[in-house]
Amino acid sequence: MSDNFQADAMLIERVQRGDRASLNELVLKYQDRAYQYAFRLTRNPEEAADTVADAFVRVNNAIKNFKGQSSFSTWLYRIITNCYLDRKKKEKNRSTVSLDAPINQGDDEVLRDIEDPGRTPEEDVIRNEREAVLQRALAKLPEFQKAMIVMYHAEQLSYEEIAEALDLPLGTVKSRLNRARLSLRELLEKDAELFGTAVSQES
């Protein structure tokens, strides 16, 4: 058992007894990592921070039931993912139209191309073209597929850790992740047709 796992176990035990200071310590220890994951899902600082705040509230409410069968970080990934999916579900239930949603024009669906208003032209120039293309495609993936891609490729979780975090069998994680990558490749090809860019090209 790693030192970090043991340290977390002791901390969590104290939080389970109602020790607020230990909760603060746990939050401090994991908030940056949690934010980075949430940001990679949302690409929006405000939304990412809200997602992380939601997640820690859920952690606090549910920690008495945490048995330590997985690591705390894996459990936190699960909670953040659920918070993110819940937020997206609520957004879809509202009457407004998502900027990411396809515009129905009959036979073919055309994807909206609306610039992120929070980004300056200078930042756009600096931004690595390959990353921009990739993010555009990721944003169009179904949320669950995007979460899996981000967990594996950005957060560098193993298949086993993703299986724990999402409570799925290992084989299911592998097949779904393969499907997500295939979908991403298709989106990147569509993007290249629309914008004349390819994810593989060097900027």
Partner 1 sequence: MSSNSLRDHFSAYYEGSLEPGLVVVLENAFRTDSGLKAEYERFSETLDSLGHMAIEDIPIPNFLSDRIQSRLNVEAPKARWYELVWIRQLGFTAVAATAIIGAVVAIQSKDSGTVAQAGVATSNQPQVSTQATDILKVSVEGGNATATFTGSTSKSVIVTDHESQKLLKKYDVTAGTVQIGLENPGAEAFVFQVDVTGEKRPTLVVVPPVTRSTTSDLKGTGGVIDLLKYVSDRFNVHIQITADNVKDTVRWDGIKSTSANEILEEVLPKNFTIQESDGLIVIQDR
In the window 67-86, what residues touch partner 1 (CB under 8 A)? Answer: none
User: In this complex, which beta carbon is closest to partner 1, that of residue 105 or of residue 200?
Assistant: 200
By CB under 8 A, name the one of 12, 41, 56, 74 that touches partner 1: 56
Closest approach, Cβ 94 to partner 1, in A, equals 21
In the window 165-184, what residues touch partner 1 (CB under 8 A)? Answer: 174-175, 177-178, 181-182, 184
Amino acid 143 reads E
User: In this complex, which beta carbon is closest to partner 1, that of residue 7 or of residue 101?
Assistant: 7
DSSP string, the chain: --HHHHHHHHHHHHHHTT-HHHHHHHHHHHHHHHHHHHHHHH--HHHHHHHHHHHHHHHHHHGGG--SSS-HHHHHHHHHHHHHHHHHHHHHHSSSPPTTSPEE-SSSEE------TTS-HHHHHHS-HHHHHHHHHHHHS-HHHHHHHIIIIIS---HHHHHHHHT--HHHHHHHHHHHHHHHHHHHHHHHHHHS--TTS--
Q: Between 7 and 46, how does the x/- string for binding to partner 1 read (CB under 8 A)?
A: ----x--x--xxxxxxxxx-xx--xx--xx--xx----x-
**Is residue 120 involved in binding partner 1 (CB under 8 A)?**
no
User: In this complex, which beta carbon is closest to partner 1, that of residue 35 or of residue 72?
Assistant: 35
Pairing mode, if any, of strands 103-104 and 109-110?
A: antiparallel
Closest approach, Cβ 135 to partner 1, in A, equals 9
Binding-site ranges for partner 1 (CB under 8 A): 11, 14, 17-25, 27-28, 31-32, 35-36, 39-40, 45, 49-50, 52-54, 56-57, 60-61, 130-131, 134, 149-150, 153-156, 174-175, 177-178, 181-182, 184-185, 188-189, 199-200
